[in-house]
Amino acid sequence: MPRHLSLTLPRARKAAGVLAAAALAASALAGGSASAASLATWDKLAECESGGNWSINTGNGYYGGIQFSLSTWQSMGGTQYAAYPHQATREEQITVGEKLLDAAGEGQWPHCGPRVGLGSDPADPFPTTPPMAAGMSPIVGVGDINRTGVADFVARGSDGRLYSYMGKGDGTFTGRTDLGGGWNQYDMVIGVGDINKTGVPDLLARGTDGRLYSYMGKGDGTFTGRTDLGGGWNKYNLIVGAGDINSTGVADLIARDANGDLWAHMGVGDGTFTGPTKIGHGWNQYDTIVGVGDINKTGVPDLLARNKATGHLYSYMGIGDGTLSGRTDLGAGWDQYTAITGPGDINSTGVADLIARDGSGDLYTYMGIGDGKFTGRTKAGHGYNIYS
């Protein structure tokens, strides 16, 4: 990988490095050249510099996704985030990179900067983007969207682009595929299952205006354009794709209102849903509710819920009539995760599995055993804190 991002200094006078760094920092504080670049361009730069690994430290004196030297990181104020660049988040590294770009231009990345058009992209890397609604995961299990017999997932970046990761069948995933932009208009993205009887899972998204939209799976890992399913969905603070919980062959929807009441909207089979049916109360104790698929081999999808205050995860088993059993405690420690989702069966055992992301951006899988419980975790990747 290219080795740079140490300030361009005279080789013969090491002390000049301190002065140059200080001058560059002063230039940044003064406003520099007001350069900026989009998140997509910063991601391209990271791919060129480090293979897209924002937490890389190979011991060669350059750190993180865009390969800062420590002196540059310090002079640009990076230590307000972390002592070393690779210990900071992607967003924090980009923020410091913006300061360096503004102060010194794309030449600080002499090979990769011009190659990816860093200096010619005027976009704001952090445009106003609504965060996912509380309890919604930016990493979304969607089931088998490319007809390989293995479940997949999608993830929304803070740049508003949606990416897919395809299950390989051994509990791991392919690299990501860009499904396009514009998803920052939604505060919920929901993997709902097959709602139009094509045999391919579909996707839902709620706009900040409370309207719900469907995107139908094509079977090749992509989706159709959106269909407006109507307004009024902002009465719910959480909407979950539950799978077929009433045994009609069509996926259904579960939603929680501000009072903590739980409601089911049953899939009709044409991509729409019935009106709400109340199926529970007291669900405001949970900060995360996950439609996980069938984890106890009854042929009916089940539900998971996390109590953030205690860190305990609970299972609610689907009965088959649209209702759920009482809860079973699956243990504590789940409060370490910033995202939990149920993609479906990712290791070809016929039992649904679980994915979780921790605060450092590492992704873990928990495999379904078949009795409603899961194995211990296996690390499946890193760098997933780019999704929010």
pLDDT tier at 246, thresholds 50, 70, 90:
very high
What is the reported pLDDT for 300?
98
Long-range contacts made by residues 318-323, C-beta under 8 angstroms, separation at least 24? 318/242, 318/243, 318/245, 318/294, 320/245, 320/246, 320/247, 321/246, 321/247, 322/245, 322/246, 322/252, 322/264, 322/266, 322/277, 322/279, 323/245, 323/279
Higher pLDDT, 76 or 13: 76
How many degrees, rounded to 5, is the angle at CA 365 between CA 181 and CA 319?
A: 95
What is the reported pLDDT for 124?
66
What is the reported pLDDT for 132?
84
Q: Report, as an integer, the average pLDDT of 141-164.
A: 94
Mean of all residue pLDDT scores within the chain: 89
CA dihedral sign, ordered 226, 232, 234, 237: negative
> Rounded to whole angstroms, what are the CA distances from 360 to 90, 98, 283, 336?
10, 22, 28, 10
The residue count of the chain comes to 388
What is the reported pLDDT for 135?
86
Quick check: 9 pLDDT over 50?
no
Closest to 161 in 3D by CA, of 138, 194, 145, 142: 138
pLDDT tier at 35, thresholds 50, 70, 90:
low
Q: Report, as an integer, the average pLDDT of 116-123.
A: 83
Q: Report, as an integer, the average pLDDT of 376-387.
A: 94
* Lowest model confidence (mean pLDDT) among 92-96, 214-218, 249-253: 92-96
3-state secondary structure of 93: helix
Closest to 245 in 3D by CA, of 344, 349, 317, 345: 317
Quick check: 366 pLDDT over 60?
yes
Q: What's the pTM value of the predicted model, to 2 decimals?
A: 0.69
What is the reported pLDDT for 21?
44
- Ordered domains of the chain (ranges, CATH): 39-116 (1.10.530.10), 139-381 (2.115.10.10)
